[in-house]
Amino acid sequence: MNWGNLTVTMGIGYQLPVCGQMAIGKSEDAVFHHIYSQSMHPLEMVAGQYKQALKTWLCPACKSPRPGTKQIDVVVERMSAGGKAALNLVMGTDVAVARRDLLLSLGTERVSRDLYVGTVALRDGSLIDGLVTFRGRRSMLVRGSKNVSYQCCVECGKALYFSTIGNRYLVGQPPLGAEIFESQMWGLIFSNEVAKGLDLAKWDRITHEVLPVLPVPIDGLGHLDPLAGDNSED
C-alpha cells in the first residue's frame, strides 16, 4: 500500500480512488480490520421471546436492538447449520452472534471492556456452549461508495446505513475509549494492534477485510452522527 499515490491497492481487485490529498498519518495505523459473517443460516429466536422483545429492546420498525441496549440473552429454536459459523446473527433482530473463542482471541480484557456479551440458549434452558451474542459499547459505520442509502429509524433513531457494492472504508478517527467496535454488518472492527498475531483466516464462515480510514466520506452523505450507534451511557 502506498499512501502517497492517488490509488490505494488492498488485495486483488481492490482499488480505492482517492480524491485529493490523504490527511492520514502512518500507513500502519491508518487501517482497521473488519470481520463479518458469511453464514447463510442465521439462528432463529423462539417465537415467545421474539414477541416479548418487540415490546422491550427490539425496535418494531427497524427490527434492530434499540440504541442503548446492552447485553442480550437469546433463546433459539435449535442449533442451525449456522451453529458452526464463527460469526452469525439472530434472524429478524440484528443481534450479532460469535463463537466465544473468536471473541476471546481479541483479548479478554478488551472484550469485557468494549463488548456486551450475552448467552445463547435452547428452549430447554441449556446454554449453547461456545456461542455468545455481542453488542459493541461503541459502534462504527462501515461506509461505501456506490448504491448507498442512509436514514434514521423513525421509531428508535438508529442509524440505518446500507451499501451494497463499491469500496468500503471508515471515516475519521474511531470513538475514544475502545479498541473493538461493532459494525452495522453484525461484525467487529479493530485496529492493527488488536489484530497482531491473529490468524483470522482460520475461522469458519467469516470475511476479513482491511478498511482504510479516510478523512472525508466518498459516498456523498457527509458527516453522519456516530452517536446514533452508541450503546453506552458514558
Can you give the binding site for Zn ion, defined by CB under 5 A? 59, 61-62, 153, 155-156, 158
Backbone torsions φ then ψ of 183, nearest 5 degrees: -100, 165
Q: Which three cell numbers stand for residue 233?
A: 451511557
Q: How far apart are CA 142 and CA 229, in angstroms?
A: 12
Q: In this complex, which beta carbon is closest to Zn ion, that of residue 22 or of residue 59?
A: 59
Of 74, 77, 72, 81, the residue nearest 38 (C-alpha) = 81
Tell me whether residue 59 or residue 132 sits nearer to Zn ion (CB atom): 59
The closest of 180, 211, 207 to 36, measured between CA atoms, is 207
d(CA 140, CA 233): 16
Cβ proximity to Zn ion, 72 vs 85, nearer residue: 72
Q: Which is nearer to Zn ion, 152 or 200 (CB)?
A: 152
Q: What is the amino acid identity at position 33?
A: H
Comparison of 62 and 96: residue with beta carbon closer to Zn ion: 62
Calculate ∠ Cα 11-89-84, nearest 5°: 75
CB of residue 162 to Zn ion, shortest distance in Å: 14
Nearer to Zn ion, 64 or 167 (CB): 64
198: alpha, beta or left? (left if phi > 0; alpha if psi -120 to 50): beta
216, with CB counted inside 10 A (0-12, 13-18, 19+), is exposed
For residues 7 and 17, the answer to whether their CB atoms sit within 8 Å is yes
Which CB, 72 or 86, lies closer to Zn ion? 72
Least gap, CB of 61 to Zn ion (angstroms): 4
CA gap 151, 61 in Å, rounded? 13
